[in-house]
A and B are shown apart, each in its own frame.
Chain A
């Protein structure tokens, strides 16, 4: 896998620029979702492009496939029947299935953009980063806050 989107929880300020950028690029349907731990932290949820993706295994019509070369997990909207199997299978809750078009929304790391995903480019605080596996190992992501509770920033 070349690169993946990584969240540095220490930096995320909850502005939702990532989601807005994704919505703006994909006709109002965001592929990145969010969880709001009220008053504590904010978690943008992007597809992790897993090595052994459960969404691929769960898809009854093979609409989702893993590209072994690029490592991307890609969904074809032409084949998708909107059954939501992938939505339930995804352990990270990163797939959404809006009822408007009856197909699931799936991050493709903005393959149409050479400089990487738009959510990473837009991120106002630099919390979302587009890194390779080696860079992730070197990076102290989320390690600067020393806290007993990983999500509780204020006492850090």
Chain B
């Protein structure tokens, strides 16, 4: 890189922690701090970066970056905060600990040891994604060679939005041989779908029904043409071809913003995998950790007032789940946070980008470089834990109770929901994770509406639109596109206020966000 004065400019190499792909890039420093990112032609991504990676400097330098603990919106001294946390862990029966992806493997081990030492029994991951269950698919690290050697690939979801870095391998695989067949399953038309030989459009949340049809496990009462764009005969042909092909992969793309029954989908993927004898490769946000119970059971204990104090080591809860927090009255919530947020006692924390340690990626365990110091006032999870009580980490992990789901019952529920939505005039809201819309840094969030629906509602492109669900109301600009079908609207659910619109349900102590009925109207 060309520099004015090399003495005052440095490029520090880091590992991107924003998804499980683990790209390498450089953070550029000058006299005034972080200047931007540099693309280093090494690593899995060969120096290429998705919008989240390119936005890393923005995120590190975010104007709302928290630098002091905040209690009721007021800055508190770190020593007072530590005293308060010590008091909380002094009452272990009344306290619970939650965590999410903003932990290194070493910090997770430390957290487990800490909980055992202080006697806290309620430990759960707030990461509601099914990757904890999907880890079963990751018995051995994935290699892009598996894509190159495949003859047929089934992709569930919008892979190019979730993990753009895999696009080069997948597109080149498809173009390398005209006989290579790509099947994409999604409920809206996506950029991944554009590349498909066969794009199978399903009803919102009906992907598991299609996968079970492929696995030939659907009951005869389910007519697949009612829930997808293909007939039973076509589904049978796809299923047989996939089973008979000598090498194939099922790629499951499970974004943070999902609005489907994640456990039903995971189960359907397992069954399709067993039927076809092919491997499932999940592309996820992060290879998460287990607590000793599920987040839903911690939430139930809080509602029953069995738990009065919750310390959260992570950035997802409660930031992204305002609708869940609303129902937790009388809870004293302490949460590490990277950005300022007034709804709870916020403790400034370092990002994984600013830590030394290791994380799990799709390609196996990778080391974080620790080349960047935590932002002013922010501490790592390890530093926070050690300031409460000196702890040494053990290589011990926790195991949440296994989840058994009644597939028949859950399928009936999805079927009923699909049929009910058709009868009503309301719109079904689905969430999308849009890499470009990373924390709203690059572009203002927009709601996507079908042009026919927009005409009926009197909405024109770029109009301000109100979206109201049972959980709340949000205002967004409208984008009209045929990519979403009639009766469906899609929003970037990575925006916390937008994510707060979604309905959720707790089944078997597991929280799932579901496609949500909303009213839409033109504002002003």
Contacts and interface: CB of A to CB of B under 8 A. Distances in A.
A113 B3 CA distance: 8
Contacts of B436: 15-16, 19-20
A41 B482 CA distance: 13
Contacts of B172: 11, 126
B39 interface: yes
Interface in A7-54: 10-11, 13-17, 19-21, 23-25, 28, 38-42
A101 interface: no
B420 interface: no
A14 B191 contact: yes
Contact of B36 (A25, A39, A41, A42): A25
B171 interface: yes
Chain B CB within 10 A, most for which of A10, A21, A153: A21
B90 to A, nearest CB: 45
A13 B160 contact: yes
Interface in A74-118: 112-115, 118
A151 to B, nearest CB: 10
B48 A123 contact: yes
A122 interface: yes
Contacts of A148: none
Contact of A124 (B36, B165, B483): B165
B184 to A, nearest CB: 10
- Interface range, A side: 20 to 34
A124 B164 contact: yes
A123 B191 CA distance: 15
Contacts of A38: 481-483
A20 B442 contact: yes
A86 B289 CA distance: 54
B58 A24 contact: yes
Contact of A15 (B39, B161, B482): B161
A124 B194 CA distance: 16
A121 B48 contact: yes
A144 B47 CA distance: 25
Nearest to A116: B39
A21 B483 contact: no
A40 B194 contact: yes
B55 interface: yes
A13 B197 CA distance: 15
B435 interface: yes
B199 to A, nearest CB: 7
Contacts of A118: 39, 54
Contact of B191 (A13, A24, A115, A122): A13
Contacts of B189: 39
B194 A41 contact: yes
Given A122-B49, A124-B48, A124-B50, A24 B55 contact: yes
A14 B160 contact: yes
B483 A39 contact: yes
Interface string B101-125: 0000000000000000000000000
B176 to A, nearest CB: 9
Interface of A: 10-11, 13-17, 19-21, 23-25, 28, 38-42, 112-115, 118, 121-126, 144-145, 153-154
Given A14-B160, A19-B436, 12 more contacts: A15-B51, A16-B436, A16-B442, A17-B48, A19-B51, A20-B438, A24-B36, A39-B194, A113-B2, A115-B1, A121-B41, A124-B48
16 contacts: A10-B175, A11-B172, A14-B160, A15-B51, A19-B51, A20-B55, A39-B189, A39-B193, A114-B2, A115-B1, A121-B48, A125-B167, A125-B168, A126-B168, A144-B175, A154-B194
